[in-house]
Amino acid sequence: MAAFFAAPTAVPDAAPSEELRALLGRIYATWMERDFETLREMFSPGAHALAIGTAPDEWFIGGGHIVDMWAVQTRELGDARFEAGTITAHALGNVGWASDRPRIVLPDGNVVELRVTVVFAIERGHWRVVQWHASVAQGNEDTVGQVLTTSLERVERSVRDDRPDLRAGTAPDGTVTILFSDIESSTVLMERLGDIEWLRMLAWHDGIVKDTTGEHRGFVVKSQGDGFMLAFPSSAYALRACVTMRDRIAAGYNGLPIRIRMGLHAGETIRRDDDFYGRTVVIAARISALALGGEILASDLVYALARGLGTFRFGERRTATLKGLEGSFDVYPVLG
């Protein structure tokens, strides 16, 4: 079963760094003073040091080489004037980074807008540049021949417009049936098929899951590897999708038998943006982990909701404990 509920890992926070902000300012000043010997000390001397510019061949490795090229280019620019922008910098342990939007004012008065990002690391007790990227700001239409989205508001609106409306995935009273599925022995299959054929098989499997879900008024909430989390507005729709999905996949991929396992539960959930959370989701995930290959397991609530329809057949009740949840739970195999 794909792991959808990994425990959060504590990550230390990066903090704004006045020290690195000032250091980038000193690098600018040292450069404009043509003091390239001092500038050389501000760069890592190691072969891992890298500077990238705008031109395709502006890819310089090694701090000494970087400063040598800067010296040549500075002479070629003549009396050009460099103007810093608003520098921002952060640090996390012995690594830090800074960014800026400086300008070069050419001798003829033309202005060149730049984008600068710098990565620093503490080496031999001092902050030194390990990566420098300075490129000319150029419109996307000039580079790739079309206008690309650059406004965060447009990005947010585009994401909102493309996001599935999960209100249709819930019943009028706010309940939802959650289904989890994955492929039995997926690791063994991957070893047997090899990477390329495994990806083809996975695309075939994913297509069946997505198509069948849509046919039964469901939504793909999320997927990870060969595992899916699906949502349906009723248990009946979810069960019909399960049976259809199982049968279609059981037909096999290029003669190779493929079996999926599924688990369902229904109830109230916490819905946020394009996802569902809460105890109902956890129970559905835990039930799916109990299923064997080719098996569909329904919670007692799904069983109770669907039994009265007379259109589904169920196997004998099983009682099980679910990881992380108190008490015991009744589950029912869905036969068809």
pLDDT for 334 equals: 93
What's the pLDDT score for residue 273? 46
Nearest residue to 101 via CA among 112, 109, 113: 113
Number of Cβ within 10 Å of residue 303's Cβ equals 22
Per-residue pLDDT of the chain (336 residues; tens, 9 = 90+): 444 544 444 445 788 999 999 999 999 999 889 999 999 999 998 888 999 988 888 888 887 888 888 889 889 888 888 898 889 999 998 999 999 999 989 988 888 899 999 999 998 889 999 999 998 877 655 655 565 554 434 544 443 444 444 444 444 445 789 999 999 888 888 888 888 888 999 999 999 999 999 999 998 888 888 889 899 988 999 999 999 999 999 998 988 989 999 999 988 765 554 555 678 888 898 999 899 889 999 999 999 988 878 888 999 999 988 887 888 889 999 998
Q: Could you confirm whether domain 15-142 is CATH 3.10.450.50?
A: yes
Specify the pLDDT at position 58.
87
Quick check: 298 and 332 in contact, CB under 8 A? yes
Determine the Cα angle at 273 with ends 275 and 181, to 5°: 15
Nearest CA to 262 out of 219, 225, 294 is that of 294
Q: Do the Cβ atoms of 280 and 267 come closer than 8 Å?
A: yes
Say which CATH architecture domain 162-333 belongs to: 2-Layer Sandwich (3.30)
Q: What is the pLDDT of residue 65?
A: 84
Is 0.75 surpassed by the pTM of this model?
no
Q: Pairing mode, if any, of strands 296-299 and 328-333?
A: antiparallel
Is residue 75 packed enough to be buried (19+ CB in 10 Å), middle (13-18) or exposed (0-12)? Answer: exposed
So what's the pLDDT on residue 268?
72
* Domain edges within the chain: 15-142, 162-333
Helix (H) or strand (E) holding 215: helix 195-215
What integer pLDDT is reported at residue 240 of this predicted model?
Answer: 94
